[in-house]
Structure 1
Amino acid sequence: MVLEGLKAVLGRFRGRVRIVGQALDATEAQALVTTLDPDVVVADVRLRGSMSGLDLCRRLIEADPGRKVVLLSAYDDEQYLFQAMRAGAAGYLLKSVSGEELVRQLELVADGGKVVDPTMAGRAVASAARLQAGEFWPGAHLSLTQRESEVLGYLVAGLSNRAIAARLVLGEETIKSHVRAIFRKLEVNDRAGAVATALREGIFR
């Protein structure tokens, strides 16, 4: 649905942008990019399969440092933006962006620019300053978002996903998604590994 919606939006601007290929997962996308060599790659942060859009971006940039990748996300969290920039992305835009604005930003990237969703730009600058000064939540230096840091704290305390969901007033599936992101960022495979890393890094004591 997201892919079809994006195609429909971009389809209204045929004189300014042309879709040369599409893929549903990172592996397929990587192969297509190699074959088609597009001017700009637009990728969702969340992709089907084991690789995220951030993982795809890193691989594309490693293969071709000049590759231009714009990430689309539903998350207006500055930490996701910082991760995208560290991965080498040329842009980070929210899915709430209008069609006209999306095309304008893609044109800027095609011309060599870097773009950040306007609604996030000011907050991102402020957060970067706070991060530099060490005024942030536990685990920020490991790219954990504030919510992921909260969830990790409850993992250290031994709470189940259901219990964490109740504490944070969130759905259990949302908590599972945060836990998977924590595992990926801490490069561990299970809760025990996440807890061990948190204690070793001094995130929680």
Structure 2
Amino acid sequence: MTNPLSVVIVDDQNLVRHGIRSLLELADIRVIGEASDGAAAIDVIAATNPDVVLLDLRMPRYDGLWTLENLRLRELEVPVLVLTTFNDDTLVLEALRHGAQGYLLKDVTLEQLKTAVHTLAAGGTLIAPSITDRLLRAIRSGPAPTGDTFPPADLTAREVEVLRLVAEGLNNREIAGALHLAEGTVKNHVSTILVKLGARDRTNAVLRALHEGLLR
């Protein structure tokens, strides 16, 4: 029997943290730490080493973007799922650019939250489909919300297929099953995609692909 996944919840509202904890317990996911702002979160995450961090963005003093940046500076490599009420394209892009691996709104169901935690713990990424669709529409119709540009990438048709599944939050094993490939082949494709896009990780690769219109 495998051990349940562990998470740290970072949110400035006690009631919200209590509610999320209660939901996760129903899904057999352990909450091993809580924090009400970014500074406390860094200490809790360093002390507990959770499988996933659930992070609100808008908090007093040290907010979610500050937390993401300082996780990187402290080299605390833990998957972060942004869980927020703010459905803003620019904020989504900022969170992803700061290193978040997932972005969901707080109106998600328990099953969606459970899936997201398991996806990130397995090395995948997950962005709410409504947000991804909206970003794609915005990018097709005009400039990206932040105005950033990236160099063009020459991806093969297969690499684009793999990248689309990465954007949907699938890990290498799941992508291999979907495309009938060996898992090692998928891993090689992902590595090549990262190099071609000049991306530091899977989430950053998806973000750059969105900007370049590669996922149309």
- Equivalent of 1:121 in 122, 132, 140: 132
Cα deviation, 1:92-134, whole Å, max 9, x if unaligned, reads 100011111101011000000011012211112222344xx53
Corresponding residue number in structure 1 for 2:18: 4
Cα deviation, 1:19-64, whole Å, max 9, x if unaligned, reads 11111111111101111111111111112x3111121011112322
Unmatched runs of 5 consecutive residues or more in structure 2: 1-14, 149-216
Residues 82 and 100, structure 2, Cα contact 8 Å, conserved in 1? yes
Residues 78 and 127, structure 1, Cα contact 8 Å, conserved in 2? no
| Structure 2 residue 97 is matched with structure 1 residue 91 | no
Corresponding residue number in structure 2 for 1:28: 40
Q: Distance in 1 between matches of 2:49 and 2:40?
A: 14
Of structures 1 and 2, the one scoring higher in RCO (CA 8 A, sep 6+) is: 2
Q: Distance in 2 between matches of 1:128 and 1:92?
A: 18
Residues 61 and 67, structure 1, Cα contact 8 Å, conserved in 2? no
Please give the secondary structure, in 2, of the residue aligned with 1:93: strand
Structure whose residues are more often strand by fraction: 2
- State the TM-score, normalized to the length of structure 1: 0.60
Q: Distance in 1 between matches of 2:77 and 2:90?
A: 24
Identity rate, percent: 28
Q: What are the residue-to-residue correspondences of 1:52-201 with 2, within 5 Å?
A: 52-64=63-75, 66-130=77-141, 133-134=142-143, 140-141=146-147
Q: Whose radius of gyration is greater, 1 or 2? A: 1
Unmatched runs of 5 consecutive residues or more in structure 1: 143-205
Residue identity matched to 2:147? H
Inter-CA distance 87–129: structure 2 relative to 1 (3 Å threshold): farther
Tell me how far 1:65 sits from its aligned partner.
6.2
Q: Distance in 2 between matches of 1:10 and 1:63?
A: 27
- State the TM-score, normalized to the length of structure 2: 0.58
Q: Distance in 2 between matches of 1:10 and 1:37?
A: 18
Number of residues of Structure 1 aligned to a counterpart in Structure 2: 134
Residues 71 and 93, structure 1, Cα contact 8 Å, conserved in 2? yes
Residue identity matched to 1:101? Q
Q: CA RMSD in A?
A: 1.8
Q: Distance in 2 between matches of 1:4 and 1:53?
A: 19
Q: Distance in 1 between matches of 2:64 and 2:115?
A: 21
